[in-house]
Copies of this chain bind each other. A is one copy, B any other.
Amino acid sequence: MKGLNMFELERNLRNWLEEDMPFGDITSDYIFDDTMTGTGELIAKEEGVICGTQIFAKIYELIDRAVEIEFSVNEGDRVSVGDVIGVVNGPMAGVLKGERLGLNLMQRLSGIATMSATFSDLVKDLPTVIVDTRKTTPGLRSLEKYAVRVGGCTNHRYSLSDAVMIKDNHISGAGGIAEAVTLVREHIPHTVKVEVEAETLTEVQSCIDAGADIIMLDNMDNDMTREAVGMIRKAGKGITIEASGNMTMDRIRGVAETGVDVISIGALTHSVKAMDISLKFAK
């Protein structure tokens, strides 16, 4: 699980297991003893890209090391309806205690990975990259951004701390684009990029002049986008061009063809359709 903080993940998994059983599993605890084992198959109920296999396994490592998980697909593999994703085997009480959290996470992350793969496939022959936003579920940003990567897209900034994004409020506050960029550059590390939002071509020009590292073309139509791309490329400063705002599936390819480097899409994470996966037990 590249690019994850494993300590945060373990902390979260423990908290989430506690959320689901603050004083134990009062059904399974009183029905099963440790010798009663069972086997369940994780089955895809719809097509999609699987994400969260190692997280699923980690959950059982925390609950009961006697539970064994074997996955028959790799992280990021696309599966079809009915495919067996993996097999869970071990003491039934342990297996059932982890089931709900395991599925809740894997379904959500696979939903994000699947959505990301869909978007990314639409432009796979073009150099444009699809990225997510900060519209993630509170507490799950790391995992959701991980799922976006598993689905073949990449990430926008992680938080308000690791990249500068200058929006219209900042511009008003500073008294202009050039002023805002200068003000921020005085304080931030040289390792941090400065991105500026532009809504008009005049603003695009100001961004170029102000030395922005990334210019975000906000809610422009494709013609204006193309013109902006032309202006920025002509400036020859190696500026990255991002398009954003209402990026639906039908628009994406057209936008990519304008030549932008990056398209950012909130829908990758803000309205996740969980992928349907079930855990079926052998009778």
- Residues of chain A touching chain B, judged by Cβ–Cβ distance below 8 Å, are 2-5, 7-8, 12, 14-32, 36, 38, 62, 92, 96-97, 100-101, 103-105, 107-108, 111, 129, 131, 134-142, 145, 149, 154-166, 168-170, 172-174, 180, 183-184, 186-193, 195, 214, 237-238, 240, 242, 261-262, 270-274, 281, 283
Contacts and interface: CB of A to CB of B under 8 A. Distances in A.
B7 A159 contact: no
Q: How many copies does the complex hold?
A: 6
Contacts of A16: 138-139
Contact of A157 (B104, B165, B191, B261): B191
Given A20-B134, A24-B2, A92 B271 contact: no
B97 A160 contact: yes
A237 B240 contact: no
B3 A187 contact: yes
B29 A168 contact: no
A26 B146 CA distance: 12
A193 B191 contact: yes
Most central of A29, A97, A138, A183 by chain B CB within 10 Å: A138
Nearest to A165: B27
Contacts of A30: 2-3, 183-184, 186-188
25 contacts: A5-B18, A7-B17, A15-B139, A22-B158, A23-B158, A26-B160, A26-B163, A27-B165, A28-B160, A28-B170, A31-B166, A31-B174, A31-B180, A32-B173, A97-B160, A107-B270, A108-B270, A138-B139, A154-B188, A154-B189, A156-B190, A158-B161, A169-B281, A190-B240, A237-B238
Contacts of A168: 281, 283
A230 to B, nearest CB: 20
Nearest to A4: B24
Contacts of A105: 138
B190 A242 contact: yes
A42 to B, nearest CB: 15
